[in-house]
Amino acid sequence: MALWDGRFSGDTDALVARFSESISFDRRLYRQDIQGSTAHVRMLARCGIIPPADADAIVAELARLQQDIEGGKVEFEERLEDIHMNLESRLIERLGDSGARVHTARSRNDQVGTDVRLYLREEIDAIRRLLQALQASLVGLADAHRDVILPGFTHLQHAQPVLLAHHLLAYVEMLARDDERLVDARRRVNRLPLGAGALAGTTLPIDRHSVAAELGFEETLRNSMDAVSDRDFMVELLAALSLIMTHLSRLSEDLILWSSQEFAFIELDDAFCTGSSLMPQKKNPDIAELTRGKTGRVYGALVTLLTVMKGLPLGYNRDLQEDKEPVFDAIDTVKAALAVYAPMIAGARVNGARMAAAAADPALMATDLAEQLVRLGVPFRDAHRQVGRFVAYCRDRGIGLDEADLAAMRTCIPQATEDCLTLFDARRSVMARDSYGGTAPRRVAEQLDFWRARLERHE
Ligand code: ARG
């Protein structure tokens, strides 16, 4: 028999029970459900709505129930639909009338919102710790290879030389913004819906603010209809998780390219790669590939929830039950990727010699030449055109930019000086990019100092 059997004359069809259950996935909210119920019944007693002895009995039984669940002694039942009714039924079974008081002045609509918000709050904190661990790995790798220079790419074509540390710290910046987004999303997660009832509040004299304080919520949601209908806090979180995956996916792509035979810039540790069942020579960067691939799941979760929400009339609708699986999956996916990424980055071997050899391409210094001409008073647009002609001149003759003498250079660049011939050196080029945010070692050292201090403070 269901908890709502008063109005119903027949049992739920088995197919319907299977179709509509959520216990198979919302069971993971058992701890939060117990936490919420505990605070709720304490408040009911404080406000004189239920006898204190009943509240005490419920609180004690909920604690036992939690132990029993964690000890594997509780079988959840599909016919009881969700975690809320599974736990309430258990309580009534064990306590009788006292248990029958737990659901006073609340509905599953405000209850599920409370559970999910408690859960997300914890998960956000866990994801933030994982993000910071990955940032620390990236900073560590950057620090250990402060002098390594590689070609910077645009359009995946040689652009200008950069320090490897500079490249890696770009990801640290992205992850820091991801962390900011989580902190910001958490503010809107951390508001209490409980006590909103089914949609309109309750006739009983409850005190929602004290429940909020007990559960550590920063605010109590002001409007009961909004409280039971809102899922935008989840959409925001999924957007933040999607961006984390975007960043991990781009980092993955760099690692996949860099560990290819063509680049051979890095080698990932054997522990983070797999072989081929057929080709004996293979060592594949599967972790990076899977992370790139799993990004789609997290985007999918975001689009799923947005789609669930868009046509709903105000108030709780059962559609909202579809919020949980995508959110859980996205959280599990992001946590798993971050957890495996931090040690993978920490254990990556850098082939500095390969990177330096690639960065020695004198064409990478073409911009340095144009900027040298600017220093000699040539307008940049003219300098750009002259250097472009010089690049074509060298290409036509099959020589590198560094192989032309001054007379040859002057056929394209009339104002060229001896100094211009000394520019084709990647280290010199990197040293010279000393503008704020640039790749010069001094600037990169500033970034490293900043991140080391910041990560130590665990902000
Ligand atoms: N299992 C439901 C969910 O996940 C709980 C709320 C059900 N509310 C209702 N009125 N049927 O959303």
Q: Is the overall model pTM greater than 0.85, yes or no?
A: yes
Contact in structure between 424 and 416 (CB atoms under 8 Å): no
| Cα distance between residue 168 and residue 175, in whole Å | 11
Q: Is the pLDDT assigned to residue 1 strictly greater than 70?
A: no
Please tell me the distance from the alpha carbon of residue 206 to that of residue 392, in angstroms, as a whole number: 80
Tell me which residue has its CA closest to atom 11 in ligand 1: 318
Q: List the catalytic residue out of 9, 84, 107, 155.
A: 155
Please enumerate, as own/partner, the contacts of 17-20 that have beta carbons within 8 Å and a separation of 24 or more.
17/78, 17/79, 17/81, 18/78, 20/81, 20/318, 20/321
CB 286 within 8 A of CB 273: yes
Cα dihedral 412, 417, 421, 423 in deg (nearest 10): -100
Q: Is the pLDDT of residue 12 over 80?
A: no
The CA-based angle 43-28-292, given to 5 degrees, is 130
Pocket of ligand 1 (CB under 6 A): 22, 26, 82, 108-109, 112, 316, 318, 320-321
Question: Which of 4, 79, 318 best tests ligand 1's pocket when mutated (most atoms within 8 Å of CB)?
Answer: 318
| Nearest Cα residue to atom 2 of ligand 1 | 321
Rg (CA), the chain: 30
**Banded model confidence at residue 459, pLDDT cuts 50, 70, 90:** low
Using the CB atoms, write b or e for 230-247: b if 16+ within 10 Å. Answer: bbebbbbbbbbbbbbbeb
Which atom number of ligand 1 is nearest to the Cα of residue 108?
6
Q: Which atom of ligand 1 is nearest to the CA of 320?
A: 12
Contacts of 186 (CB under 8 A, 6+ apart): 120, 121, 124, 125
Q: Which of 12, 76, 82, 319 to mutate to test the pocket of ligand 1 (most atoms within 8 A of CB)?
A: 82
Rounded Cα distance between 37 and 49, Å, is 15
Q: What is the pLDDT of residues 210-252, one digit of tens each?
A: 999 999 999 999 999 999 999 999 999 999 999 999 999 999 9
d(C-alpha 37, C-alpha 87), whole Å: 10
Q: Closest residue (by CA) to atom 4 of ligand 1?
A: 321
- What integer pLDDT is reported at residue 259 of this predicted model? 97
- Rounded CA-CA distance 206/261 in Å is 67
Q: What is the pLDDT of residue 404?
A: 97
pLDDT in tens, 256-306: 999 999 999 999 998 888 888 888 888 899 999 999 999 999 999 999 999
What average pLDDT does the segment 427-434 reach?
98
In this structure, is the dihedral angle defined by the CA atoms of residues 125, 126, 131 and 136, taken in order, positive or negative?
positive
> Ligand 1 atom closest to Cα of 316?
10
Among 11-25, 340-354, 372-386, the minimum mean pLDDT is found in 11-25
What's the 318 CA to ligand 1 centre distance in angstroms? Answer: 6
Query: What is the model's pLDDT at position 197?
Result: 98
Q: How far apart are the C-alpha atoms of 103 and 37, rounded to whole Å?
A: 8
| pLDDT number for residue 438 | 98
3-class SS string, the chain: CCCCCCCCCCCCCHHHHHHHCCHHHHHHHHHHHHHHHHHHHHHHHHCCCCCHHHHHHHHHHHHHHHHHHHCCCCCCCHHHCCHHHHHHHHHHHHHCCCHHHCCCCCCHHHHHHHHHHHHHHHHHHHHHHHHHHHHHHHHHHHHHCCCCEEEEEECCEEEEEEEHHHHHHHHHHHHHHHHHHHHHHHHHHCEECCCCCCCCCCCCCCCHHHHHHHHCCCEECCCHHHHHHCCHHHHHHHHHHHHHHHHHHHHHHHHHHHCCCCCCCEECCHHHCECCCCCCCCCECHHHHHHHHHHHHHHHHHHHHHHHHHCCCCCCCHHHHHHHHHHHHHHHHHHHHHHHHHHHHHCCEECHHHHHHHHCCHHHHHHHHHHHHHHCCCCHHHHHHHHHHHHHHHHHHCCCHHHCCHHHHHHHCCCCCHHHHHCCCHHHHHHHCCCCCCCCHHHHHHHHHHHHHHHHHCC
